Amino acid sequence: METQTNLRKKRFNIVEQAMMRVKGFKELYLEFEDKVLISGQSPSVLRNYSRNVAGVCLHFNRLPQDISEKDLNIYLADMTRSDSPSLSNFKFTVYGLRYFYRLLGLKDRLVELPRIKAKKKLPVVLNYEECKAIFSAPAILKHRILLGLIYSAGLRAGEVSRLRLSDIDPGRMMIHIRQSKCNKDRYVPLSPLVLRGLQRYCKAYKPVDYLFNGSMPGTPLSTQGIRWMLHESVKKCGLTKDINVHTLRHTYATHLLEFGMDIVSIKELLGHSRIETTMVYLHVAKSSRINLFSPFDRLYKKD
């Protein structure tokens, strides 16, 4: 079984390899890091773009500006011809190269990068019994509470990682999600059942500042750690669906529709900028407008 540390090493190892093997990559990466920090962009931009650009640089053993347009286009085309092309991997490679070219002042290189069309697939959604099985699978209280919280509020992995103790408001029964995707804040309902679990968790673990602390003092639990927790829970349940942290968010939205909440309210709870993004859930449920609530309470409501 892979530990969180091993998973984290794999995630960042390719950037470290590029720093050691590709001349000038370390200096380029540090310049890119400064640019991301100054612009106030999400740390995920740095992680995703730099990791994929590092892969390109390692492949050619050259910096992006020293790779010919012809060679780069062949490399990108080969990515689309693979047996199972990853849209996210391709996207971050293309966007990462574009970002690096802008950083280097090579704007004429932007138009030469090809595109890959997204496959139109419905999201994977869990049924009620699968949700219950996943939430009860972890032997550790912290893991059970964390997974239940993600589903109960439709959170992204980064959002739950950054939650602070002060973001939980028992008086108003709300959770404050700060500076999420597109640097937007939002509030979502706090489930009374989840609040009881959080109170038990806080009493046992005594978290400081962040709701879920990382291994180092003053740091939040990493998104890699959160993904590992879910992976272990799913494996223990023996579920065969392709499940990741975002699956819980898809399931949250779908269950809200099934329980009767309207699509506009769900859009606001999810923090979507466009209603079209939310409307994919209409393919699996119909709804009518009622008061806002967390589906976690309905999940365990007795008949």
Question: For residues 150, 156, 160 and 164, what is the CA-based torsion angle, rounded to 10 degrees?
Answer: -130
- Nearest Cα to 278, choosing from 256, 296, 293? 256
Beta strands in the chain (DSSP E): 168-169, 174-177, 186-189
Residues 6+ apart with CB under 8 A from 219: 210, 213
Catalytic (active-site) positions: 156, 181, 246, 249, 272, 281
d(CA 120, CA 279): 13
Q: Report CA 14 to chain centroid distance, whole Å.
A: 20
CA dist., res. 125 & res. 114, Å (int): 32
